[in-house]
Amino acid sequence: MRTARYCFIRVAVLLATTFATMALAEVVVLRNATVHTQGSRGTLERASVVIDDGRIVSIGTNLPVPPGARILDLAGKVVTPGLFGGIGTVGVVEISLEPSTVDSALRMGKMYPEFDLSLAYNPDSSNVGVARADGIAFAVLAPSARAGVAGQPGSSIVAGLGAVVSLAEKMAHPPSVLVVDLGSDVNALSGGSRAAEFMLLKRALTEARAPRSRGTNEDSMLTPAGHKTLAEFLKQKKPFVFAIDRAADIRQLIAFAKREGIRAFIQGGAEAWRVAEELKRAGIPVIVNPFEDLPESFDEIGASLQNAARLHQAGVTIAFSLNESSPHRMRRLRHAAGNAVANGLPWAVALDAITRVPAQLFDVGKEFGSIETGRVANLVVWSGDPFEVSTLPERMWLNGVPQSLRSRQTELRDRYLERNKDDSRR
């Protein structure tokens, strides 16, 4: 789907970023930090990162300080790549219960795999600013067929195209994943039975494999554009993200993906730990919500705080996302990662699950998810362990540009801190 239009936009955005960086051109040395590169350098203690003109030029200990550099002594504070915010609706939902501000679900009655949610992305949304101010660098925009907070489900289990979004850029990346909702939450969209979810998917894929006949076809599920989109996903093995929880459904999905030859990611996967061996064999990664431990539906009877740890132990690749349609809780994802650690997941694996792994899964590993020499700086300085609830971000670079950590919320805070002072004087 990398159309000419997209390429033009990307170039324009990159140029704009370059000019911004040039205006701020300086050399910054982050010194005396614990640097979790999540890349080739691993974790370095008492290390430095040198950023020249927005680009990381060296990482290591005892580095020479370039002349004229601004030196920031971090006194052992923690540096990580900018974090992943999960799969969700940042910038496409302003207020969950206000339909005029919600663009995340399509209700046009048919299956539109070509529905491209990235076109609705608003970088000025307050939740983009709030997420960025908490160290989040990138996320995956995903349409959802499930009933959100607003209680309005989409009209097809094939929710549409998802795309990576950098929280420092004005436009989302070109769409790169197809989001499909499965399970009891959406069985109303398949005539009341989850069995028909696979029936509908099978039919759509079969259509996409056949050459598209000219003109309109009354019997076809897909529009010409939908046909083209699905065919491309099949041909190029682009990933389908399946939101699915029940172990039995996951087994069906594994078999379905194998039969159809599609590349599958699982999102949610409350009972995935029960199918860990099969997932490992099939090479299907699971994007887990580490908070999920209640049987909130009959699809999630086996939900467990140890889901992530057990999947990892079995050798399944994991990343993290909250599974809420609300974009307002993205900053909780790093705490969710901490909870996975508290329940048995190695710390470094948990950090990978909100940095390197999702960046690689969503094919932006060269921009996000790790700190490497030669790359544009995408990193965060934390007051301590980024998983800790007591930790806050202190500095952040995105696309090589130092970011303000202020948001609409800090404006409100400061206004009322000041007013409350006046109150107590009266």
Applying CB under 8 A, the residues found at the interface with other proteins are 94-98, 126-127, 149, 247, 271, 274, 291-298, 300-306, 326-329, 331-332, 335, 338-339, 341-342, 387-392, 409, 412-413, 416-417, 419-420, 423-424
Of 146 and 238, CB closest to other proteins: 146
Look at residues 322, 324, 342, 341 and name the one whose alpha carbon lies nearest to residue 332: 322
Tell me the closest approach of the beta carbon of residue 200 to other proteins, in angstroms.
24
Tell me the closest approach of the beta carbon of residue 276 to other proteins, in angstroms.
14
Of 274 and 375, CB closest to other proteins: 274
Strand 78-81 vs strand 379-382: parallel, antiparallel, or unpaired? antiparallel
Of 125 and 360, CB closest to other proteins: 125
Q: Quick one: which H or E segment has residue 380?
A: strand 379-382
Helix locations, 94-147, DSSP H: 126-132
Instruction: List, in order, residues 6 or more apart from 69 with CB less than 8 Å away.
Output: 26, 27, 28, 29, 50
The encoded tokens of residue 205 equal 């894929």
Of 45 and 296, CB closest to other proteins: 296
Tell me the closest approach of the beta carbon of residue 322 to other proteins, in angstroms.
10
Look at residues 78, 166, 157, 67 and name the one whose alpha carbon lies nearest to residue 110: 157
Of 182 and 201, CB closest to other proteins: 182
Instruction: Specify the 3-state DSSP secondary structure of 28.
Output: strand
Amino acid residing at 32: N
Tell me the closest approach of the beta carbon of residue 310 to other proteins, in angstroms.
11
**114: exposed, middle or buried (C-beta count within 10 Å: 0-12, 13-18, 19+)?**
buried
Of 378 and 407, CB closest to other proteins: 407
Give the up-direction half-sphere exposure of residue 100: CA atoms within 13 A in the CB hemisphere: 0
CA-CA distance, 306 to 344, in Å (whole number)? 7
Please, are residues 323 and 268 in contact by the beta-carbon 8 Å criterion?
yes
Tell me the closest approach of the beta carbon of residue 219 to other proteins, in angstroms.
35
Look at residues 183, 192, 108, 194 and name the one whose alpha carbon lies nearest to residue 146: 183
Look at residues 257, 258, 276, 259 and name the one whose alpha carbon lies nearest to residue 316: 276
Instruction: List, in order, residues 6 or more apart from 364 with CB less than 8 Å away.
Output: 138, 164, 173
Of 158 and 333, CB closest to other proteins: 333
Between vectors from CA 204 to CA 199 and to CA 205, what angle results, nearest 5°? 100
Of 301 and 401, CB closest to other proteins: 301
Tell me the closest approach of the beta carbon of residue 93 to other proteins, in angstroms.
8
Tell me the closest approach of the beta carbon of residue 342 to other proteins, in angstroms.
5
Instruction: List, in order, residues 6 or more apart from 304 with CB less than 8 Å away.
Output: 270, 273, 293, 310
Of 238 and 274, CB closest to other proteins: 274
Tell me the closest approach of the beta carbon of residue 91 to other proteins, in angstroms.
12
3-state SS of the chain: helix, strand, coil percent to 5? 35, 25, 45
Please, are residues 51 and 207 in contact by the beta-carbon 8 Å criterion?
no
Distances in Å between the alpha carbon of 298 and those of 38, 248, 265, 426? 37, 11, 22, 57
Of 325 and 355, CB closest to other proteins: 325
Tell me the closest approach of the beta carbon of residue 122 to other proteins, in angstroms.
14
Of 262 and 333, CB closest to other proteins: 333
